[in-house]
Amino acid sequence: MLVEVQVAPDDLRRGRLGRAQLAEAEAAYRAHGLVTLHKAFDPAFIRRLEVAYAARFGGCSEDELARLGSRVGDERWMLSLPFEDPFDGPELYAPALLMPLLHRLLGEAVVLSSYCAVTSFPGAGPQHLHLDHPLLFPEDEQASLHLPPYATTVVIPLLDLDEKNGGTMVWPGSHRATPSFWKRVTRGTPLRLPAGSAFLMDYRLLHRGEANPGHLPRPVLYLVYARPWFRDAYNFRDHPPVRLSPEARARIPEAHQGLFAAALSAPSGCSAE
C-alpha cells in the first residue's frame, strides 16, 4: 500500500510536519518501506535546483558522465552532487521538514551516506528491478529483512513524475520480502508526484526507474541517510558518495557537521567542476 502524506502550505512555511502527520509518515514507512510527501519543498527552490542541475550536467558527454558517476541502466546515470550553490545548503541536505522523520527512523546520530542524483535521459528504457544495496546478512535473509531501518533514500524529483516523463515503479512492503519474491513480482505501483514532492524509500525496497518517454532528462535527487555504522559497500566504486572538498566541508555549519561524519573529504577535481 502506498501512503501519501500531503504537506499543508503552513507546515511547509514553518518547516515542520504536524505531530499526527509525522506519526502517520513514520508508521507508513515502517509498514510499507515507503512514504510519499506531497509538496514537501518550496517549488521555487526545486526550480533553482533543476536549472542549476541542467546548466551543470545537461551538456555532459557520455565520457564525462562516466568520469563523474556511474551508469545505472539504459541512458541512466548516477552522479555525485557538486557541493556548491544551490546544492550545498542545509535546506537540501538537512531539510527541516524531513529531519525529525529521519531521526525517528534512523536515530539521532543519522549521517548522510550519499548525496547524488539519478538522471534518466529521453528514450531511456525501463531500469532493471533492484534493491539499492545487497541485504546486510545474505546468509540470513530473515534477519536482514526484519531489522529496523538502517538506510533510507530520500528521492526528490526535479520535474513532475507523470505519464509524460515517467516515474519510479515501487513495490510497497517489499522491504520485508525474500529474494524468492523478487523473482515472482508482477505489477508494481508507478509513483506519480509533482515536482516539489519527495518520497522516502527503505534501502531494502524493490524498485526500478520507469522508461523516459518524454523529451526532457528526468533527474531525481537521491539522498541516502543512514545509521552511523552503515557503509554503502556496493554503489561507489567509480565516484565518491559525497563529493565534499575540505574547503566545502569547513563551510558546513557546526549544527550539521555530524551529518557528514561518514563522508571522507574528496577533492573536487573534475574538468566539469
For 10, half-sphere exposure in the C-beta direction (CA atoms, 13 angstrom radius) is: 1
State in angstroms the smallest separation of the CB of 14 from ligand AKG.
Answer: 30
Give the residue carrying C-alpha cell 546468509. Answer: 139
Q: Which residue is nearest to ligand AKG (CB)?
A: 209
Alpha helices of 107-262 — where are they, by DSSP H?
141-146, 179-182, 246-251, 254-257
State in angstroms the smallest separation of the CB of 44 from ligand AKG.
Answer: 23
State in angstroms the smallest separation of the CB of 130 from ligand AKG.
Answer: 6
Report the interface residues with ligand AKG, using CB under 6 A. Answer: 72, 118, 120, 127, 132, 168, 207, 209, 220
Residue closer to ligand AKG (CB basis): 72 or 92: 72
Residue closer to ligand AKG (CB basis): 149 or 167: 167
- Residue 242 near residue 125 (C-beta atoms within 8 A): no
Cα torsion angle, 22, 27, 33, 34, sign: negative
Return the CA Rg of the chain.
18
How far is residue 144's CA from residue 105's CA, in Å, rounded to a whole number? 16
State in angstroms the smallest separation of the CB of 127 from ligand AKG.
Answer: 6
Q: Which residues contact 173 (CB under 8 A, 6 or more apart)?
A: 1, 31, 32, 33
State in angstroms the smallest separation of the CB of 196 from ligand AKG.
Answer: 16
84: which 3 cell numbers? 556548491
Residue closer to ligand AKG (CB basis): 17 or 221: 221
Q: What angle do CA 27, 205, 62 make, to 5 degrees?
A: 135
144: which 3 cell numbers? 536482514
Residue closer to ligand AKG (CB basis): 101 or 221: 221
Residue closer to ligand AKG (CB basis): 80 or 127: 127
State in angstroms the smallest separation of the CB of 123 from ligand AKG.
Answer: 14
Residue closer to ligand AKG (CB basis): 124 or 248: 124
State in angstroms the smallest separation of the CB of 253 from ligand AKG.
Answer: 30
Residue closer to ligand AKG (CB basis): 155 or 259: 155
Nearest to 210 by CA among 135, 123, 91, 82: 123
